[in-house]
Amino acid sequence: MKHRFWASYLLAALAFLPLETVSMTQVLATESVYQLAQSKAAYTQYMQLGYNETKRRNYRKALGYFQQAERLRPGDRYATAAIRNVTSYIQRGSSRNRIAFVPGKPGRVRSAGTRGSCFKKIEESIIPLTPTDEEAQRTTAEHPTFFFYIPQTSATLQALKFVLRDDKSIDPLYKATFKPIGQNGIVSVTVPTDQSSLQIGKEYSWVFSMSCDPLNPDKDSYVEGTIVRSQDENLSLQLQQPNTDLDRAVLFATAGFWEDALRTLAILRRQRPNDPEVEKYWEDLLNSVDIKQVANKPLLPCCTVQK
């Protein structure tokens, strides 16, 4: 009888065990979701406050908010990029440097390529306006713009060529040949809106070249690099608020989006060529990534696709 009683008791207890287990699991899951939601809300709030203080040029306050966000998400690329760039404002002195950019991988290395036979001086070459060659430049744009400085050539420049490629595809995403301008300066290539958009998170490679001897393409001068499209929701929210174009450039640089910051200032420089404030921002941005030698070079009206 005693054995039968305990067997019945054990069966009854086991019958209730799955329900209790499921109930406890649900409670723990609910608590976990709640904690994650709280953490996400706090992270978003700190990032928004950081960007807002950056726009106001209160860099020390901004740094504190970005550091709080990074504590909630250790290693978060948006928070760490903002910390890097805001720290550079503080170190350089915000009164002297109005905008700056610090790559994730420090140091500037000349893009892999060749000088070819185009230039008057043997030490000269194409200079891409990118912060570093050690990592892909970041953009929010579906159709980004690329900038290159072309020195004075020793021979007649026949053509400029640009190729943007998704390395997983045989066909290039965009390929074009341009008619050059007969002077040294900065040229820009924008991927047309009728071409495929860059996908978020995917890295693309590009090659920019110039031809002086069409019979010897092996002597073309070229540079190459990579770009990746990213999306920072907190930056997007901040950009929806009233901002001047210079504010937008600072926010892009702080968030680590080089292409957007450079493109914004290039547009302003064309629109307001005699504005010393715009010129100062342009020079500071290029100086911060050690390409100050081209800061005073003209933006050329290039490039037009050759038919």
pLDDT along the chain (307 residues), means of 10: 45 45 49 57 93 92 96 94 92 73 71 58 81 90 95 76 88 89 88 94 93 74 92 92 92 96 96 94 93 91 66
- Say how far apart CA 67 and CA 99 lie, in whole Å: 20
Q: Quote the pLDDT of residue 154.
A: 66
Task: Output the pLDDT for position 170.
Answer: 82
In this prediction, residue 95 carries a pLDDT of: 53
Q: What is the DSSP letter of 111?
A: P
Q: Tokens for 238, please give them.
A: 């901040």
Lookup result for tokens 């074009």: 176
Delimit the domains of the chain by residue range: 2-92, 113-305
The burial of 159, by beta-carbon neighbours within 10 Å (0-12 exposed, 13-18 middle, 19 or more buried), is given as: middle
Question: 113-305 falls under which CATH superfamily?
Answer: Immunoglobulins (2.60.40.10)
User: Which pLDDT belongs to residue 140?
Assistant: 97
2-92, which class in CATH?
mainly alpha
Nearest partner of 133 among 116, 110, 113, judged by Cα: 110
Task: Give the residue among 64, 307, 71, 269 at the shortest CA–CA distance from 185.
Answer: 269
Other beta carbons less than 10 A from residue 128's beta carbon: 20
Return the pLDDT at 4.
47
CB 133 within 8 A of CB 181: no
Backbone angles phi and psi of 203, in degrees to 5: -95, 135
